[in-house]
Amino acid sequence: MQRSHSPQRLRVLPFLAAALAVVLPGCVTQTPSAQAPVEEAPVNIPLAGADVSALPLFERAGTVYRDAKGRDGDALAILRGAGMNAFRLRLFVHPDYDNVVVNDLEYTLALAKRVKATGAKFLLDLHYSDTWADPSKQFVPKAWEGLDFDSLCDKVRSYTRETIAAFAQAGAMPDMVQLGNEITNGMLWPEGRVEHGPAPDPAAWDRFAALQKAAHEGLAQACAGRPLPLVILHIESTGNLPRTEWFLAEAARTGVAYDIVGLSYYPQWHGTIADLSKTLNLAAEKSGRPVMVAEVAYPWKKSADWSEGAENLAFPATPAGQNAFAMAVVRALREVPDGKGIGLFWWYPEAVLNPKINVWLGGDCALFSTDGRLLPAARMRIE
């Protein structure tokens, strides 16, 4: 279902400016669990969050998380106490359970219940893949291989409907949803692939838009006519203004519906804070919608190979340097015209070194130190 720009759907900014004090539009009213919501510290942006999709895996492997004073505790509660008010969880269709590729429906439902029990907002990131989906790969789930295009659209619709219904029935309805992860080059390749280049391919965009429409229809069907979660259109073209403008223009031309533009920002790949600011401002202007940083990370130490894009790592790889970077990202969001910069989600804050897990970049970008102690950047606010 194509979403119109109705006044109700565009009340995103005032709504978030109220510090998320009320429930975001959703299909069902949530029933709180016995765990009381956590009292969080103040933040400078409406949404200050993190993707904690691997947290249960680390907990099972024996990782201990501590607050800034060294006291052991639940990582979600610690992050909430630091000021975070939202968490993002990815979902694969049928993951192979290799290392951290464990996010099936059962796993994600259980973690989503924990997120909602803290009182935080919940962003569900649907990959429409059995494994990582990003600009370099968007694999069709194995169970969907061989479907013709119309059947693939039907599968996207039914999968989205059944998945969202499962979260609603579990009392863990998402407040926000991504219908695809880093989809600047499309989704479900080759059928839904789009590319920025000198030779436009309108037919490719029509196919991509049809897949997005099917996902929206499934979302609407699960919600049975009631208000939908906010939809994040997640792209990763920070620092590439022509590509960002192309994607948003084509999305508008083909009727792709969304509420918020989400950008990935890893400085080693996407440039400087100035590049981030320019892209946020352009996306807000061209889309007419709020913008957020859907993924962001920066090292507090350097144990991995950081030679790629080293010139963009303008802050020291120390806890203080990571914190300065986080504050710079918050400033960039706050400076988006008309208050349209609404928040960020830190990538993989739980990635503490553990011998049982192949930890991304050696845990350099985590928000917990090697002994599990909370780092200053988790506060995500300008002091």
Strand pairing of 65-66 and 260-265?
Answer: unpaired
Selecting among 191, 217, 250, 295, the annotated active-site residue is: 295
Active site residue 245: no
Put residue 221 in one of left, alpha, beta given phi > 0 → left and psi -120 to 50 → alpha.
Answer: alpha
Rounded to 5 degrees, what are φ and ψ at 234? Answer: -100, 115
Name 86's bridge partners: 49, 121
Kindly state the helix (H) or strand (E) to which residue 102 belongs, with its residue range.
none
- Round to whole Å and give the CA distance between 21 and 28: 17
Alpha-carbon torsion angle 301, 306, 309, 313, nearest 10: 20
- Round to whole Å and give the CA distance between 250 and 242: 12
Name 87's bridge partners: 50, 122
- Round to whole Å and give the CA distance between 67 and 71: 5
Selecting among 182, 236, 245, 350, the annotated active-site residue is: 182
Active site residue 295: yes
List of long-range contacts for 134-138, beta carbons under 8 Å, 24+ apart: 134/181, 134/182, 134/236, 135/182, 135/184, 135/185, 135/236, 137/189, 138/180, 138/183, 138/185, 138/186, 138/187, 138/188, 138/189, 138/192, 138/193
Sort 80 into a burial class: Cβ within 10 Å, 0-12 / 13-18 / 19+.
buried
How many Å from the N-terminal Cα to the C-terminal Cα in the chain?
43
- Round to whole Å and give the CA distance between 268 and 43: 26
In single-letter form, the type of residue at position 130 comes to: D
**Which residues participate in catalysis according to the annotation?**
182, 295
